[in-house]
Amino acid sequence: MRILLYVASFLVLSVGISLFFLSEKTDIYFSWTINPPLTATFLGAGYLASFLLEFLYAREKVWAKTRVAVPGV
C-alpha cells in the first residue's frame, strides 16, 4: 500500500503542476482544453493538495492511519 500511495502522489503531483502553473496552456500540456484558465488553476490546486495528503500518509507506519487517504486519489 505504501508503494501505491507513493505512485499516486507522484501522478497527482505531475498533473497538479501542469494544471496549476501552466493553466493557460492546457490545450498543449493536458488531455483537453480547460477554459477559463482559472478553472484549471483551481483543479491544479486540488491535485496539489491531494499530493500532499497522499505523500504524507505514505510515510505513516500504521495502516489504520492511512486508509483515509486511499479514496482521496
- Residue 23 CA to its chain's centroid (Å): 15
Say whether pLDDT at 63 is over 90.
no
Give the residue numbers spanning the domain of 53: 2-66
Distance CA 17, CA 38 (A): 14
Distance CA 55, CA 63 (A): 14
Number of domains forming the structure of the chain: 1
Residue 60 is assigned to a structural domain of this protein:
yes
Say whether pLDDT at 72 is over 80.
no
Which residues are CB-neighbours of 10 under 8 A, at least 6 positions away?
none
Tens-digit pLDDT profile for residues 10-58: 999 999 999 999 999 888 888 888 999 999 999 999 999 999 999 999 9
Residue 72 is assigned to a structural domain of this protein:
no
Residue 10 is assigned to a structural domain of this protein:
yes
Say whether pLDDT at 73 is over 70.
no
Which amino acid is located at 46 in the chain? G
CB-count burial class (<10 Å; 0-12, 13-18, 19+) for 62: exposed
